[in-house]
Amino acid sequence: MDESNSRAREAPASLQGFVHRFVPGREPGAPALLLLHGTGGDENGLLPLGRMLGDGAPLLSPRGRVLERGMPRFFRRLAEGVFDVEDLKVRTRELAGFVAAAREAYDLEKKPMVAVGFSNGANIAASLLLLEPEALDAAILLRAMVPFEPDSPPRLAGTPVLIGAGRNDPIARPAMAERLAELFKSAGAEVTIEWDGGGHSIGPSQVDAARAWLGRTELRRSAS
Ligand code: MLT
């Protein structure tokens, strides 16, 4: 078992009220990956994906603090696809506070922070880009929706964003992925959409595409 595996099995830590896992990096040049799980996931669920995407990258993986019938999420929803936007905005700011505290606690201040979100986690990552852009330096949004339409355009000049979308996704539908891409592009982000023929789950081709995108994307830690 490598060191990152054994550390990942230690009891989860808590920071700013977020239960989370932190797996230290082994590769000095690697960015930190902020792993944000989908509904019903937890801080362990995306660690394997994080390891596949970033060789030796530090992994920071919080558990969403909202429970829906016992399933962790990052913010409340009123129905499938209908978000409690007020709660979403509060939870987004809390998550930004967690990211800032974790950067300090785990000595990540000089590293670019790349969100890797799936479904509900991709939606709060998109909300972080809209409301707290300095929390992230790039984002991989897998099966994301438009979290809300912002009143004024966010400031995302040059921020790399990869949207992984499925042509047959009945939840994060193709039109939503396209609208999200448009929203980020109009804010100056460098957006790539990667399509596959799948539904609301991630297939191996999207993992490969995300890994390749991360490998070729120039990342810079933006000043906060
Ligand atoms: C959400 O609630 O964030 C989306 O509907 C995706 C999901 O978690 O099912």
pTM beyond 0.85: the answer is yes
Confidence of residue 12 (pLDDT cuts 50, 70, 90): confident
CB 97 within 8 A of CB 15: no
Per-residue pLDDT reduced to its tens digit, 114-136: 999 999 999 999 999 999 999 99
Q: Which atom of ligand 1 is nearest to the CA of 83?
A: 2
Pocket flag, ligand 1, residue 127 (CB < 6 Å): no
Q: Whose CA is nearest to atom 7 of ligand 1?
A: 120
Confidence of residue 152 (pLDDT cuts 50, 70, 90): confident
Pocket flag, ligand 1, residue 158 (CB < 6 Å): no
Which residue numbers are catalytic? 119, 169, 200
CB 39 within 8 A of CB 125: no
pLDDT above 90 covers what percent of the chain?
Answer: 89
